[in-house]
C-alpha cells in the first residue's frame, strides 16, 4: 500500500500510525512509515503522517521519530481526536523543539486537525486558533458518531429512522464555518463502504456542495470520484472565468467603472466576483481548460 500510494492521483497522502494500526504494531508502523518516506518518491503530493492522539502513550514518539528521521519529507502532521486547543498547542511546541534539534526550518511542517468528538466540536473555535501551523480542519465521522452515540454502524450514511434531514449537517457546517473564519481548509472524512462508489459519490457531493475543499479516500477506487466531485463542472468553470473577465472589464476605465453589470440574464457585482474566484481557482487547480470566450 505504501508503494502503491505514491503513484495514485490523490492530492495528498497520509501515512497512518493511529486507528488503522493495531496497538502491538505501532513501532513497526512507525518504522515502515519512515522507510517509505525516506526511500519513496512522493513528489507532486502533499504528504502527511497521522500520529496517535494525546490520550495514548505514543504521540511523542511518533512526532520525535518521524520528524527526526524524515521531517524534510513531511508537509503536515495530522492530529486525531483533538479535544482542546492544548492538544494542538502541545503538538506545535513539540514540533518546534524537534525541528530545532534536527536543524529543520521551524514552522514549515503544518498541522491538520481532526474534529471527531462532541468535545472537539464544542471547542472548535479555540482548537482552530491554537497554532499558526494549522492548515485544515478534518471531520472524523466514525469517531464522531461513536462519541455522540449515533445509532448506526454505517459511517457516512444517515442513521435509520432519521428522515428529517442530514444527521451530519450540524457538524459539517460548524467545521466549515470555523475553517473559513480561521482561513483553513475544511476536509470531510472517510466513507468506509469502499465498494460502494455511488455511496461515496453521494457523500462527497454533499460535502462539496456545502463548500468543503476535499474528502478523504480510503481506497484507490474512490479517488476518481473524489477528484471529479471536488472539481467544478466545465460549465461552472467556464461561467466563473466569464464572470471574472466581464467584471474585470466592467470595473475598468474602459468598461465605465461599473460595479454592477449584466452578464447574460444575470446581474453580477463584487460578491459574484468573489464566488467566481473560488470556482475558477479550483478549476485551474484541477487543470480544466476554458472552452470558449464568454
Q: Which residue has the cell 475544511?
A: 186
x-or-dash string of contact with ligand GLV, 202-241, rule CB under 6 A: ----------------------------------------
**Least separation in angstroms between CB 206 and Mg ion:** 20
Taking the least distance from each CB to Mg ion, the nearer of 71 and 189 is 189
**Least separation in angstroms between CB 177 and ligand GLV:** 20
Contact status: 188 vs Mg ion (CB under 5 A): no
End-to-end Cα, the chain, rounded Å: 45
Q: Where are the alpha helices (DSSP H) in the chain?
A: 2-5, 26-39, 59-70, 85-102, 118-122, 124-128, 141-148, 169-181, 197-210, 223-230, 234-251, 270-285
Burial tier of 125 (Cβ tally within 10 Å: 0-12, 13-18, 19+)? middle
Going from the C-alpha of 293 to that of each of 202, 239, 245, the distances in angstroms are 32, 10, 9
Span near ligand GLV by CB under 6 A; candidates 57-65, 136-144, 172-180, 235-243: 136-144
Contact status: 140 vs ligand GLV (CB under 6 A): yes
Q: Which residue has the cell 534539534?
A: 101
**Least separation in angstroms between CB 153 and ligand GLV:** 13
Question: Which does residue 189 touch among ligand GLV, Mg ion, none (CB within 5 to 8 A, set by kind)?
Answer: ligand GLV
Span near Mg ion by CB under 5 A; candidates 8-16, 110-118, 203-211, 270-278: 110-118
Going from the C-alpha of 37 to that of each of 14, 44, 91, the distances in angstroms are 11, 14, 21
- CA–chain centroid gap for 277, Å, is 19
| Residues of span 130-169 touching Mg ion by CB under 5 A | 140, 143
- The answer to whether the beta carbons of residues 191 and 229 sit under 8 Å apart is no
Span near ligand GLV by CB under 6 A; candidates 125-133, 137-145, 222-230, 266-274: 137-145
Contact status: 90 vs ligand GLV (CB under 6 A): no
Contact residues: ligand GLV, CB under 6 A: 80, 114, 116, 140-143, 189-190
Contact residues: Mg ion, CB under 5 A: 116, 140, 143
Amino acid at each position: 500500500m505504501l508503494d502503491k500510494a505514491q503513484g495514485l492521483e490523490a492530492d495528498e497522502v497520509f501515512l497512518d500510525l493511529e486507528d488503522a494500526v493495531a496497538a502491538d504494531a505501532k513501532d513497526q508502523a512507525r518504522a515502515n512509515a519512515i522507510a517509505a518516506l525516506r526511500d519513496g518518491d512522493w513528489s507532486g503530493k502533499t504528504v502527511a503522517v497521522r500520529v496517535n492522539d494525546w490520550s495514548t502513550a505514543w504521540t511523542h514518539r511518533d512526532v520525535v521519530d518521524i520528524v527526526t528521521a524524515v521531517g524534510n519529507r513531511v508537509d503536515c502532521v495530522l492530529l486525531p481526536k483533538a479535544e482542546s486547543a492544548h492538544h494542538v498547542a502541545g503538538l506545535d511546541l513539540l514540533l518546534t523543539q524537534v525541528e530545532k534539534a534536527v536543524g529543520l526550518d521551524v514552522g514549515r511542517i503544518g498541522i491538520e486537525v481532526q474534529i471527531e468528538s462532541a468535545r472537539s466540536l464544542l471547542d472548535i473555535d479555540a482548537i482552530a486558533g491554537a497554532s499558526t501551523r494549522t492548515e485544515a480542519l478534518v471531520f472524523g465521522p466514525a469517531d464522531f458518531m461513536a462519541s455522540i452515540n449515533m445509532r448506526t454502524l454505517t459511517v457516512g450514511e444517515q442513521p435509520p429512522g432519521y428522515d428529517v434531514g442530514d444527521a451530519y449537517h450540524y457538524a459539517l457546517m460548524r467545521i466549515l464555518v470555523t475553517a473559513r473564519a480561521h482561513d483553513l481548509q475544511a476536509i470531510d472524512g472517510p466513507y468506509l463502504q469502499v465498494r460502494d462508489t455511488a455511496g461515496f459519490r453521494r457523500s462527497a457531493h454533499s460535502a462539496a456542495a456545502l463548500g468543503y475543499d476535499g474528502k478523504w479516500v480510503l481506497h484507490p477506487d474512490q479517488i476518481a470520484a473524489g477528484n471529479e466531485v471536488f472539481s467544478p463542472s466545465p460549465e461552472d468553470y467556464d461561467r466563473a472565468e466569464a464572470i471574472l473577465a466581464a467584471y474585470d472589464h466592467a470595473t475598468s476605465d474602459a468598461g465605465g467603472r461599473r460595479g454592477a453589470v449584466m452578464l447574460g440574464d444575470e446581474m453580477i457585482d463584487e460578491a459574484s466576483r468573489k464566488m467566481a474566484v473560488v470556482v475558477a481557482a479550483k478549476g485551474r487547480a484541477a487543470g480544466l481548460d476554458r472552452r470558449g470566450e464568454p
